[in-house]
Structure 1
Amino acid sequence: MTADLRDPGNLATVRTSGHGLLLRPWDPESDADVRAWLRGITDPEFCRWNTPLVPVTDFTGARDSLGARAARAREGSGVSFVIADAGSATTLGHIGVNDIRLRLGVAAIGYWVLPEARGRGVATRALKLVASWAFGELRLHRLELDHAVGHGASCRVAERCGFRYEGTMRGAIFESGRRDAFRDAHLHARLATDPEPDAP
C-alpha cells in the first residue's frame, strides 16, 4: 500500500508484511487487541525500561490508550502496529512510528515484544520491516529511537537494524515507575541514505 500523505486518514488502515511478520493497526474495538496491549504495557520487563506518559493499569485505560493511537493514525501523526506472526496471525508485540514530522522527514520508533515471543528475533525483524515501510512509503529521511541506558537488548536490536548509536541524552526519560525523576537514554538513528542492514 502506498500512503497518500494528502489524506489525513491514510495511516489508519496501513498493513505491511515481510520477514515472517504481518504489521497491522491495533483495533481499540477488539477486546483481544485491548487485552494484548494491556498485557504488553504492564509486563514487568516493559515497565523496567519504560514509563508511559499516561499510566495504563486496566482494560478501560488500555482501550482508551489504543483509541488515542488510532486517532493519531487518522491524523497522520503516528501509526501503531500489532506485530503478528504472518502464518498464524498470533500477536507477538508492538511497533510504532511516532511523532511523524513530514516537513522534516523525521519520525521516532518504539517497540516491545510479549514475553512468550522474546528470543525469536521478533523486534529485529519488525524494526527492519517498519523502517523499510517508513523510508519507502512515507519517504522519511530519518528515523530515531531511544532506550534507557543499560537496556542492552534494545541496543542490540537497534544496531542490527542499522540504527547507529549517536550519543547519550542526559535525563531524557522517566525513571522506572516514576514521573518525578529522570534517567539517561541512548539515541540511535538511521537515515534513508544509510546502507541497508543484512537480512534478519
Structure 2
Amino acid sequence: MATQDGFLSVPSNAPEGGRPAHHDRGGGSRDRRPATTRSGVSTGGSPLRNPSDGISWDGIGFVLLRTDVGMGGEGDAVGEARVRCGSGGADPGTCSTRESATVGRGSGFGRMSTFATTDTSLRHDGSMIDPIAPVVPPGRMKQTRQPDFTLPGNMHLRPWQESDAQILVQSCLDPDIQHWNRPGRLTTDTAREKIERWKLRWQDEEAAIWAVTPADDAPVGLIGLADLDLPGGSGEFVYWLLPAGRGRGAMVNATLAVSRWAFDTLGLHRLRITHSVNNTASCRVATQAGFAWEGTMRSALLHADGWHDEHLHARIQGDTGPA
C-alpha cells in the first residue's frame, strides 16, 4: 500500500494527548511533511509518543495500534474512522481500515487523508493480511429492476407507485400500524416523497420496499428490508397490513417470498425480524416464516406507551424451514 501523494497532514492545533477534539476535515494550520511506506503503513518524519495499546476512542472511531513502523521507526499509529479491531495487550489482533486513517503524534492526532481508499487490514506489526470480501458485491442490487412476486391467495408484491400515496396516508391513521410501526403522520405530498425515497434507497442499495396488493392492485400492506447491509450480508424486515389484508396469511407468504429473493438472488446471509414482545401478531408471522427466536432485547424500542422489550428472530442462509 502507498499513499496517494506522499504527504501526511497533521493539524498543528491538535489537543495535547488524549481524545481529539474533532475529526479534522480540512482548514486550519497543518504540518505537511514527506511520508514513506513500510509494510503497508504510511509513516512520516517525527517519532511517536506511545499512549497505549489497542485503545478505541468511542464516538469518534479512532484506534491506536502498536507498531514498529511509526514515524521515525518507532511508536504508534494507525487506525481510521470506520474501524474494526481486535483486543490490545499480548494478543492485539488485527485492525481493518477503510478509506482514511489517523496517525498519532506526541501533540495529538491527525488525519492521514492520503491513505489508500480501498479496504485493507493490518496486523499490529504493520504487515498486511487478506481483507474480507463483501458478502454481496456492490452494484448487484441496483443493477437489477426491483422484482414483482406472486403470492398464494391471488396476492402480489410490487414496488410502491406515486399513485399509492393516499393509501400510505391512510395507513398512518390505523391505530395498530401507528402503535407498532410508529410511522407518524403523512400528507399526500409527504407520502409521495417517501415513495420516491424508497426508489432512491433501492438504487443506493440501502432498502427494498414492496406494496402488498390483492387482485385489484390497491395496496393493503407493506413489506421490505429496511436496513440492508450488503457488505455484511444482512437485512432487517419491516412490515404492516391494513385491516383489509389481515387474516389470510398474506404477511407470512410475503415474508417467505422476500426471504427467498434475499437469500437466493441477492445473496444475503442473515435476515432479522424484531418486534415488541406484546406484538403477538408479528411474532406469529416470524415463527411461521421460519425465523427462529433468538432472545429478548430489553427496553429496546420506545412506543407511545413507554419502552418495550423486543423479540429478536432470525433466519440464515441454509436454514431448514418453510419455503
Task: Give the equivalent residue in structure 1 for 2:118.
Answer: none
Q: CA deviation at 1:114?
A: 1.2
Q: Do 2:299 and 2:308's aligned partners in 1 also have CA atoms closer than 8 Å? A: yes
Residues 142-177 of structure 1 show CA distances to partners (whole Å, capped at 9, x for unaligned) of 100111111111101100000111111122212137
Q: Deviation at 1:137? A: 1.0
Deviation of 1:8 after TM superposition, in Å, equals 6.0
1:9 to 2:138 alignment:
no
Q: RMSD over aligned Cα, in angstroms?
A: 2.2
CA gap 1:11/1:82 in 2 versus in 1, 3 angstroms: farther
Match of 1:163 among 256, 279, 291: 291
In structure 1, the residue matched to 2:319 is: 194
Q: Is the 8 A contact 2:270 2:314 kept in 1?
A: yes
Task: Return the letter of the residue paired with 2:167.
Answer: A
Contact 1:16 1:133 in 2 (8 A): no
Return the structure number with greater relative CO, CA threshold 8 A, min gap 6: 1
> Which of 135, 155, 159 is equivalent to 1:21?
155
**Corresponding residue for residue 237 of structure 2:** 109
Contact persistence 1:23–1:81 (CA under 8 A): yes
Match of 1:41 in 2: 172
Bigger helix share: 1
Distance in 1 separating the partners of 2:144 and 2:173: 26
Q: For 1:161 and 1:74, how far apart are their aligned partners in 2? A: 27
Structure number with larger C-alpha Rg: 2
By how many angstroms is 1:12 displaced? 5.5
Q: How far apart, in 1, do the equivalents of 2:226 and 2:182 lie?
A: 16
- 1:191 deviation in Å? 0.8
Q: What CA deviation, in whole Å up to 9, does each residue of 1:75-127 have, x standing for no partner?
A: 11111101122x43342211011211111110001111111111111111111
Paired amino acid for 2:155: L
C-alpha spacing 1:50/1:80, structure 2 compared with 1 (3 Å)? same
SS at match of 2:266: coil
Write the distance in 2 (CA, Å) between the matches of 1:44 and 1:83: 19
Q: Where in structure 1 are there 5+ consecutive unaligned residues?
A: none
3-state secondary structure, aligned to 2:226: strand
Paired residue type of 2:170 = R
* Identity rate, percent: 34
Normalising by structure 2, we get a TM-score of 0.54
TM, length-normalised to structure 1: 0.84
> Which residue matches 1:79?
208
Q: How many correspondences in the alignment?
A: 187
> What residue is the counterpart of 2:198 in the other structure?
69
Gapped regions of structure 2 (runs ≥ 5): 1-135
Residue in structure 2 matching 1:121, options 245, 249, 255: 249
1:192 to partner: Cα distance: 1.5
